[in-house]
Amino acid sequence: MKTTRQKSSVRKLAALRARLADAEEVVRAIRQGEVDAVMGAGKQDSQVFTLEGAEHAYRMLIESMNEGALTLTADKTILYANQCFARMVKCPLEQVTGSSFRRFLSEEDRATLRPLMKRSAKSGSKIPVLLHAGDGSLIPALLSIRELANEGSKDVIIGMVVTNMTEARRNEEMLRTLTHRVVQAQEAERRFVALELHDNITQLLCAVLVRSQALANKLSPHDGSAKREAVKLRELLGQTAEEVERISRNLRPSVLDELGLVAVLRDTSTEFAERTGVSVKLACVQLTARLPADTELALYRVLQEALKNVEKHASARHVTVYLTKLGDLVQLTIKDDGIGFNPDHHPARQKRKGGLGLLGMRERTTYVGGTLNVKSAPGKGTTILAQIPLIDRQPGGGGRRSRTNRVH
């Protein structure tokens, strides 16, 4: 006969075995992604969050995605995560579900995400972040956030799609590297053509100009029309030689290589003002050390393209050019008082005329580690701002920074 104590022990043991079986089933369901509810500790009591509509077909679709899919509470507790997200952050799924999404974010990204979570119900939000994976690596990702319908409950449920941007970043870097190589090849070709124009074509034109001058001198005033034609021919040849020389300088100005950035900015601004009649005001810093060659060339090309846009499209009367230093940045600012445009909504006509110019300026500044911003509005003129770090990027440069003093 079993005693009352023995019977009680048997019942307790049976109950413990049942609870253990239930726990094992929950763990199995979590691992298989079959959980439809998560219990979380609230401020006063435990709360059960359910995932309504988590039917088999819907779950199969979510699990087959190549992007991470999450549902979160307002305090960022993960109610559901698919296997793709678990693989992305290199954590077992059972360690992801029920944990806080904050564990995968830096303090900076947490602060940025907080207000976006609050206003995600209206139109949705997107934010780039660096996810802290379980192995300590950083994963660039894009979060798409939206509040989900949660009928019959006051609890806010947030849906989130997490896109791994590692491959996109790699492709972007490869494209940028290819673009840089194209720019280098273009500059090498420009240098070659500039030398050919200067050393061959210009010299031939000068020789013809001298011969035409000699011919004009031999003709007497009594020769009438022949004398006048010879004089016109000499003038035309002189204009042609000057134009070829100008084209050669624009392709690759020798003053840039010999005297540096400030000198070429001054020469370019002066030539533009004299040729177009548009007033150009130039204020520059005086560099006590030469900037890296690619930085000087990038800033020169930005000014060159900006002035070209002013001449063709802006209908401006005044242009102001500033070369300044802000901390460890060299900054080139170009302002005009022209008709302006909307940078965010280019008509096809504006894209055909100016879009490639702006794109080229951005690529050149990006190539040397800088940024380019364009501010404009119809009737408000245009401001182009190029900022480049003052760091020597040439091989063996050792990150040496240039020193500057302000002069006018």
Domain extent listing, the chain: 1-31, 50-164, 166-252, 255-408
Nearest-angstrom CA–CA distance, 129 and 179: 26
Give the residue with greater pLDDT, 302 vs 399.
302
Convert the pLDDT of each residue in 156-213 to its tens digit.
Answer: 788 889 999 988 888 888 887 887 787 778 778 888 887 888 778 888 888 888 888 8
Torsion of CA 27, 33, 38, 40, to 10 degrees: 70
Nearest-angstrom CA–CA distance, 408 and 140: 45
Token digits of residue 349: 């006509």
Task: Please give the CATH topology (third level) of the domain spanning 255-408.
Answer: Heat Shock Protein 90 (3.30.565)
Convert the pLDDT of each residue in 322-341 to its tens digit.
Answer: 999 887 889 999 999 999 98
Token digits of residue 263: 């000198």
Segment 239-243 shows an average pLDDT of 85
Give the residue with greater pLDDT, 311 vs 45.
311
Q: CATH says 50-164 is which class?
A: alpha beta
- Residue 399 clears pLDDT 90, i.e. is over it: no
At 213, the amino acid letter reads Q
Residue 8: per-residue pLDDT: 75
Give the residue with greater pLDDT, 66 vs 281.
281
Residue 299: per-residue pLDDT: 93
Torsion of CA 234, 240, 245, 247, to 10 degrees: 170
Query: The dihedral of CA 132, 134, 139, 144: what is its sign?
Result: negative
Token digits of residue 327: 């901390």
Give the residue with greater pLDDT, 57 vs 280.
280
Mean pLDDT, rounded, of the chain: 79
Q: Are 126 and 144 in contact (CB under 8 A)?
A: yes
Segment 59-65 shows an average pLDDT of 67
Nearest-angstrom CA–CA distance, 14 and 315: 90
Residue 120: per-residue pLDDT: 57
Give the residue with greater pLDDT, 401 vs 336.
336
Residue 153: per-residue pLDDT: 63
Convert the pLDDT of each residue in 338-364 to its tens digit.
Answer: 999 888 765 433 444 444 588 888 888
Q: Are 72 and 158 in contact (CB under 8 A)?
A: yes
Give the residue with greater pLDDT, 26 vs 280.
280
Segment 88-113 shows an average pLDDT of 90
